[in-house]
Structure 1
Amino acid sequence: MRKLGCLILLIALVVTAVLVATNLWVGTGPAERPVAVVVPEGASLARAATELERAGAIRSASRFRLFARVFGGGGSIKAGEYQIPAGASQKDVLALLGEGKVRQRLVAVPEGYPSIMVHDAVMRADGLTGTVAVPAEGSILPDSYAYQRGDTRAALVARMQKAMKDYLAAAWAKRKPGIAVTTPGQAITLAAIVEKETGKPAERRTVAAVYGNRLRIGMPLQADPTVIYPITKGRPLGRRILRSELHAKNGYNTYASPGLPVGPIANPGRASIDAVLDPAKSQALYFVADGSGGHVFANTLAEHNANVAKWYAIRRQRGEM
């Protein structure tokens, strides 16, 4: 009878220990806020546990290793940078490391970003290594690009450039016949102007048509962003264009010279590239702001002058003139 009592007590103690251990394994962890932990390439479970304890994601490295062997099934862990959620249990932490759910970092490149500003974004991105030169204008496809801590800046820019190369090749293969540009390079150059001239998606194809019509008849494009580019390399000008700048001959100024500029003035997005390769069916040669964030288009100079007069009237009402 006494032996039976001891056995029951022992079983009770074992069950209690298992319950306590299980609760510790699945219970709320110590992290009060999300913490970043880097598991180096080739790191053992012991090394990962040490990094987790140091970051405050777990309470005890030795206990984590023990529980991982008992409850975790002995699976391998994957290297990388992890974002451990606040209060994550030891079970959840091991699952993150086992599944390789590494933290995704992003560099965003908005449509129309000039390469000098792409360079700025890449150079200040946390976790990247090395340096990189300013990429060629028009060689980057605007998008959000994921990377991991330790990736090189050169590799990230190469991915951005490959994305543009691949997209342009596919878009060029589907171009409409009779468009004004004759090479993929010209398409990017014109698309960059379209990108800078309108932020209204519904207008892109018509703006592309206007510039295509002008190119065909040898009429200067007269695009203000091409005047600004040699001055700032694509950064905001912050003031009105000077009369002397409108007459400057530098290869980019489309007031001073007919035809396309010598190269792109920004990195155009997919929609602007598509607009140049499939412009609207329009005879318009002119456009001016309409006061609502868009533009009004005209086929003749007389129509355009009337539209300009309306725009000036709107600006006078707003106190801008």
Structure 2
Amino acid sequence: MWRHIASNAITMMIVVVFLLGGVILFGQSQYTAEGPLGAPICLRVEPGSNMSRVSKDLESQGAISSGTLFRLGAEYSDKSSSLKAGSFLVPAGASMEDITEIVTRGGANTCGTEIVYRVGVTRQSVQVRELDPATGRFVEVAVFDPSKGETPDVYAQTKAQSDTRYRIAMAEGVTSWQVMDALNNVDVLSGEIERPEEGALAPDSYEVRAGDTRASVIARMEEAQRVLLAAAWESRADDVPLLSPQDMLILASIIEKETGVPEERGQVASVFANRLKRGMRLQTDPTVIYGITQGEGVLGRGLRQSELRRETPWNTYVISGLPPTPIANPGRASLEAAASPDTTEYVFFVADGTGGHAFATTLAEHNQNVAQWRKIEAERANQ
């Protein structure tokens, strides 16, 4: 009898073990299987949250089939205690295992709201935007000019969110004074800065954190430009008429300010390179403008004949060769164009009415192009 009872007990234990194993295997398969989410979502994990709250949020958004299984899986993989606060993009069909990895691996937020401080050539602006998970693109929520004292409520509300990201977007061709002025208007940064050397900052998009110092942002911009400058100088053409990386930086800044069409950079660079080789003055308006404004904002009007004749260290109608400093902060493409200009015989160019330029090798050709441009200007004035 006891032998029969013992035998039945052993059999029952074996059945329970097999059933338990089956449950575990089923749970594992569900945890790693493709999830029910039909479209991407942005999951916000608040500071101090836990896997229980996250699982309820995921369930309510239809991202997981079982909050209990999600929590058990995270606990079993020893990741429950690694939950990170922030906003995370959860792709369509993400498994519970995938989502656990997303909310515990750390790093920068992958979705949510972002404030972008834009430093442009003609103006600065602040843009509040939010990532649309469905398209993967940012949607503008608000935009304003900080120099005019405009501050919409949504800006303050967005700054108050713990997972808001911040970015400084510096356009190609802005001056160092414009960058300094813009950074002084970024109220999430701290500390004071002096005006950086002209041309020393790399135009790019820089992610920052609230509380970062303005000096640290400038240091990152300067280091990025040093890297770009060194790379362009190393790859320069053998016959480029430049004596130093600084000469290349100066020429690149002029190319940047003269180029309305990016594809023309190499041709514009060739004009200046050819002029330098022949001992011709560069005769470029942006250098004259810099001599007037010193890079502090935009001129906002056309140049006068008296200004074209006025002698300043930057007036390339008066001085020979390059001006003493850059006239703006050039980007990578202009640095590369200065280092390796197109091979042409061009020594003249003038606006062609399309935003680009008409290039010429002789003065006669150039005069024809100038006459055509003046005709276009006259027609526009009469419209």
TM-score above 0.5: yes
Deviations along 1:48-82, whole A, 9 cap, x unmatched?
A: 67xx9xxxx9xxxxxxxxxx997853644588x83
Q: Which of the residues 349, 361, 365 maps onto 1:303?
A: 365
3-state SS of 1:106 partner: strand
Alignment partner, residue 253 of structure 1: 315
Q: Which of the residues 162, 172, 190 maps onto 1:111?
A: 172
**Structure 1 position 161 matched with structure 2 position 222:** yes
**Structure 1 position 140 matched with structure 2 position 201:** yes
Q: Which of the residues 270, 273, 278 maps onto 1:217?
A: 278
Alignment partner, residue 350 of structure 2: 288
Give the aligned residue type for 1:312: R
Q: Which of the residues 292, 301, 318 maps onto 1:239?
A: 301
Q: Which of the residues 197, 202, 222 maps onto 2:258?
A: 197
Alignment partner, residue 333 of structure 2: 271
Consecutive unaligned residues in structure 1, runs of 5 or more: 1-32, 40-46, 58-67, 86-90
- Contact preservation (8 Å) 1:82, 1:101: no
Give the aligned residue type for 1:229: Y
Distance in 1, matches of 2:185 and 2:99, equals 30
- Contact preservation (8 Å) 2:349, 2:358: yes
Distance in 1, matches of 2:264 and 2:286, equals 17
- Residues 152 and 83 (structure 1), Cα distance of their counterparts in 2 relative to 1, 3 Å cut: farther
- Contact preservation (8 Å) 1:226, 1:252: yes
- TM-superposed CA distance for 1:84, in Å, is 7.4
TM-score normalised by structure 1 residue count:
0.72
Alignment partner, residue 226 of structure 1: 287
- TM-superposed CA distance for 1:255, in Å, is 1.3
- Residues 48 and 139 (structure 1), Cα distance of their counterparts in 2 relative to 1, 3 Å cut: farther
- TM-superposed CA distance for 1:306, in Å, is 1.2
Alignment partner, residue 93 of structure 2: none
Alignment partner, residue 82 of structure 1: 86
- TM-superposed CA distance for 1:218, in Å, is 2.2
- Residues 109 and 235 (structure 1), Cα distance of their counterparts in 2 relative to 1, 3 Å cut: same
Distance in 2, matches of 1:97 and 1:132, equals 37
Distance in 1, matches of 2:370 and 2:45, equals 56
Distance in 2, matches of 1:102 and 1:77, equals 15
Deviations along 1:225-245, whole A, 9 cap, x unmatched?
A: 111113321522111112222
- Residues 95 and 140 (structure 1), Cα distance of their counterparts in 2 relative to 1, 3 Å cut: same
TM-score normalised by structure 2 residue count:
0.61
Give the aligned residue type for 2:106: G
- Residues 261 and 312 (structure 1), Cα distance of their counterparts in 2 relative to 1, 3 Å cut: same
**Structure 1 position 98 matched with structure 2 position 104:** yes
3-state SS of 2:219 partner: helix
Q: Which of the residues 192, 197, 209 maps onto 1:131?
A: 192
- Residues 208 and 34 (structure 1), Cα distance of their counterparts in 2 relative to 1, 3 Å cut: same
How many matched pairs? 276
Alignment partner, residue 151 of structure 1: 212
- TM-superposed CA distance for 1:113, in Å, is 1.2
- TM-superposed CA distance for 1:97, in Å, is 5.9
- Indicate the structure whose relative CO is greater, using CA pairs within 8 Å and at least 6 residues apart: 1
Alignment partner, residue 181 of structure 1: 242
Q: Identity over the aligned pairs, expressed in percent?
A: 43
- TM-superposed CA distance for 1:203, in Å, is 1.1
- TM-superposed CA distance for 1:105, in Å, is 2.2
Give the aligned residue type for 2:108: V
Give the aligned residue type for 1:290: D
- Residues 99 and 150 (structure 1), Cα distance of their counterparts in 2 relative to 1, 3 Å cut: farther
Distance in 2, matches of 1:34 and 1:236, equals 43
- Contact preservation (8 Å) 2:88, 2:103: no
Give the aligned residue type for 2:104: G
- TM-superposed CA distance for 1:121, in Å, is 3.1
- Contact preservation (8 Å) 2:175, 2:327: yes
Give the aligned residue type for 2:248: A
Task: State the Cα RMSD in Å.
Answer: 3.8
Give the aligned residue type for 1:99: R
| Greater percentage in strand | 2
